[in-house]
Amino acid sequence: MQNGFDFDVVVVGGGPAGSTAATLLAQHGHKILLLERDKHPRFHIGESMLPFSEPVVQRLGIDWSEGNQFKSGAVFIDENTDQRMYFPLSVYRKTYQLERGPFDQKLFENAAKHGVETHQEEKVLEVSCQSGGVEIVSDKGRYRCRYLVDATGRTALMGRKDRTIDRIENLGKFAVYTHFEQIQPGEEADELFRSGSIYVLVVDIGWIWIIPLSGRRLSVGLVVQKERPKDCEVEDLLQRYLAASPILNRLLAGARQSAPIRVEADFSYTNQNRHGLRYACCGDAAGFLDPVFSSGVFLAFTSAARVADRIHQGFIEGREADPMLHAVDDEEYLLGFNTMRLFVERFYQSNIVHNLFFEAHRDPDLKDQIARLLSGDLWVDNNALQKSLLASRPMPG
C-alpha cells in the first residue's frame, strides 16, 4: 500500500460496533484489519434489540431472526400499583431478543466474509494518531494505517487515554443479573414467549429487566439506581428482588438458573472526544447509557455505520487528515444519544413512569411518541415528546 500503510483502517474491538464498521468499510472497497482481544463466542450482556437497527443489519447482509426470539414490544409494569403498559415496537421494522455470544460471533465472522482481516485474542495496547498516519501497537504486532476506528466498548481506548470520559450521574449505578432455563408452561410465561416483549418492572431501588430468549430461557437483571441496602451483598440483592416479585415467582417456578450471577458497574458516561485527527469512536466507546431502553446495540450499529460511511467519503475527498471530518455526523449522533439520555433521566424522575408511561393509554399520540422513541426512531422532526425532551435542558456537546 502507498506510504507504507499496512491497512486503510484498523478497527479496534470486535463487538457489534467494530464488526459493523469493519464490514461496511470493506464493502466500500477498503483494506481493513479488525482486532478483538477476546475469542468469540464470548459472553456479553445486552440482549434486547431495537427495530430501527434493522437498516444497518440489512446492509451487513445477515439474518438476525435466525435462532432468535421475535420481540414485539416493551411492557412497563409496577406490581405495587398493578399497572402495566405495553408499547408495540416491531410495527414497521422487526427486532429480536438474542444471546450476544453467538450474535457477536456471527457479526465478527460476517466481517471476515466481506474481506476484513480479523484477528482474535489480540489486544491493542497503544495508538498514536499523527497527521501522516496512525501507528498501532498490540500484544502481537505493530500496524500502520490511514485511519483508526475505536470500537472498544466501555474500555473506551481513546477516551480513557485522553481522559475525556465524563460520568453521567443519577442513572443506574450497577446491574446484577443471570439467566434461567426450562421456563415452565403457564399463562404468564406463555404470553411472554408469545409476544417476546421485554418486561421492565419498576422497583423502589431501580428496575428489573425480564427478557425472553429462544428455547424458553429468560435473562433477568436488576439495575440499582439508589444506594444499595447495607444489609445485603449484591448477589443476594438480586435474589431478594426476584423473590419479592409475583410475576417472577410465576415465571421462575420450576425453572433452573443457568448462568452465574454477574455484576456490572460504572455505567453511563459521555466521551468528549468522539473523533479527531485520523480517528473516530463508535458504540460504547463514544458514550454509554443506562440500559433501561435497550439503546446500546442500536447506538452501536448506527454510530458505526455513520463513522464507516464518513471515512469512506473522507478518503474519496482527500479529507482523511481533517480532524473535523466527523463533525456533522457527530451532531446527528448527539441528537440520538441525547434524546435517549434525557428519556432515561426522565425514567428515573419520580412518578414519570406513572404519569407518562401508564397514562399513555389515555392519549394515543403520546403512546405513539413513546413507542417511536423506544423503537429507535430518533432522527425525525415530528415527535413532540422528543422535542420537549431536547428542549427541557441544554446538553453538553
336 touches ligand FAD (CB under 6 A): no
Distance CA 134, CA 130 (A): 6
**CA–CA separation, 283 and 298 (whole Å):** 9
For the CB of residue 295, give the shortest distance to ligand FAD in the complex, in Å: 6
Is residue 124 close enough to count as binding ligand FAD by CB under 6 A? yes
Among 123, 144, 160, 250, indicate the residue that binds ligand FAD (CB under 6 A).
123
Segment contacting ligand FAD (CB under 6 A): 24-32, 237-245, 291-299, 348-356? 291-299
Tell me if 36 contacts ligand FAD by CB under 6 A.
yes
Question: Least distance (Å) from ligand FAD to the CB of residue 351?
Answer: 25
CB 116 to ligand FAD: min, Å: 14
Residue 156 beta carbon to ligand FAD: minimum distance, rounded to whole angstroms = 9
Q: What Rg value do the Cα atoms of the chain yield, rounded? A: 21
**Minimum gap (Å) between residue 35 Cβ and ligand FAD:** 5
Handedness of CA 212, 214, 220, 223 (dihedral sign): negative
Q: How far is the CB of 210 from ligand FAD (least distance, A)?
A: 11
- Assess 46 for contact with ligand FAD (CB under 6 A): yes
264 in contact with ligand FAD (CB under 6 A) = yes
Q: Contact between 235 and ligand FAD (CB under 6 A)?
A: no
51 binds ligand FAD (CB under 6 A): no
Task: Report if residue 16 touches ligand FAD, rule: CB under 6 A.
Answer: yes
Instruction: Report in angstroms how near the CB of residue 105 gets to ligand FAD at its nearest.
Output: 10
Binding window for ligand FAD (CB under 6 A); candidates: 225-233, 292-300, 325-333, 389-397: 292-300
Three cell numbers written together for 132: 501522516
> Residues near 122 by Cβ (< 8 Å), separated by ≥ 6?
35, 36, 37, 138, 139, 140, 141
Binds ligand FAD (CB under 6 A): choice among 8, 47, 329, 377: 47
Choose, by CB under 6 A, the member of 60, 297, 308, 356 that binds ligand FAD: 297
Most distant CA atoms of the chain, gap in Å: 67
- Characterize the bridge pairing of strands 206-213 and 32-35: unpaired
Is residue 287 involved in binding ligand FAD (CB under 6 A)? no
- Taking CB under 6 A as the criterion, the residue among 159, 206, 212, 296 binding ligand FAD is 296
State whether the Cα torsion 305-93-100-114 is positive or negative. negative
* Among residues 206, 283, 314, 336, the one that binds ligand FAD under rule CB under 6 A: 283
Looking at the Cβ atoms of 300 and 353, the one nearer to ligand FAD is: 300
| Contact positions with ligand FAD (CB under 6 A) in 142-201 | 151-153, 155, 157, 175
* Binding region for ligand FAD (CB under 6 A): 12-18, 35-38, 44-49, 123-124, 151-153, 155, 157, 175, 221, 264, 267, 283-285, 291, 294, 296-298, 300
